[in-house]
């Protein structure tokens, strides 16, 4: 018997499924389509993969032309992803607030609005909000290999604070 998904992961899967269904106009390739602001359900970042409150607003799925999905991710102050790698890389554009990121074995770096991050395939890292400010980034996640992210262990408080 398979272990049921935690509620938060089930909700995320559901939200992504709903978004994919809502965005079915995106599947039509003979006409321009518009997904209106607020029409694609927001999901909560699962507690297994994030520390603190993280919200995911899906923007578009990968398709036959563009091999990457898009989403806004908003981290509450102090919230961050777990350590992870992207099998096909990821672009981030910081759109609001102030954040932090770290590559395994390197110092924590600050992120500010307008900064653009390239996370190459297989490079272990995390990203999140600054301790006292929230942060939103638009994430464009490579899906060429079919899987956008491989999750690892949580980022400890000592790692987060660069201690």
CB of 10 to its own copies, least distance (A): 25
Q: Is the dihedral of CA 108, 113, 116, 119 positive or negative?
A: positive
d(CA 34, CA 62): 16
Q: Considering only residues 99-158, where is the footprint of its own copies by CB under 8 A?
A: 101, 103, 106, 109, 111-121, 123, 125, 138, 140, 142, 144
d(CA 84, CA 127): 10
Question: Is the CB of 49 or the CB of 101 nearer to its own copies?
Answer: 101
CB of 64 to its own copies, least distance (A): 9
The verdict on 98 binding its own copies (CB under 8 A) reads no
For the record, the structure tokens of 54 come out as: 């993280």
The verdict on 33 binding its own copies (CB under 8 A) reads yes
For the record, the structure tokens of 140 come out as: 């464009």
Residue that has been written with the tokens 């607020």 in this structure: 38
Phi, psi of 12 (to 5 degrees): -65, -45
Q: Which residues bind its own copies (CB under 8 A)?
A: 25-26, 28-38, 40, 59-60, 63, 65-68, 70, 88-89, 91, 93-95, 101, 103, 106, 109, 111-121, 123, 125, 138, 140, 142, 144
């Amino acid at each position: 018997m398979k272990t049921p998904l935690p509620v938060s992961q089930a909700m995320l899967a559901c939200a992504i499924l709903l978004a994919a269904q809502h965005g079915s106009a995106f599947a039509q390739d003979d006409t321009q389509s518009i997904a209106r602001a607020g029409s694609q359900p927001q999901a909560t970042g699962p507690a297994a993969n994030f520390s603190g409150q993280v919200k995911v607003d899906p923007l578009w799925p990968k398709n036959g032309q563009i091999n990457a999905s898009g989403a806004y991710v908003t981290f509450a102050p102090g919230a961050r992803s777990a350590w992870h790698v992207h099998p096909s890389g990821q672009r981030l554009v910081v759109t609001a607030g102030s954040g932090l990121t770290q590559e395994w074995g390197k110092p924590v770096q600050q992120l500010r609005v307008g900064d653009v991050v390239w996370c190459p395939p297989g490079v272990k890292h995390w990203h999140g909000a600054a301790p006292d400010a929230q942060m939103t980034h638009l994430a464009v996640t490579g899906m060429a290999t079919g899987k956008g992210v491989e999750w690892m262990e949580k980022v400890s408080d000592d790692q987060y604070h660069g201690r």
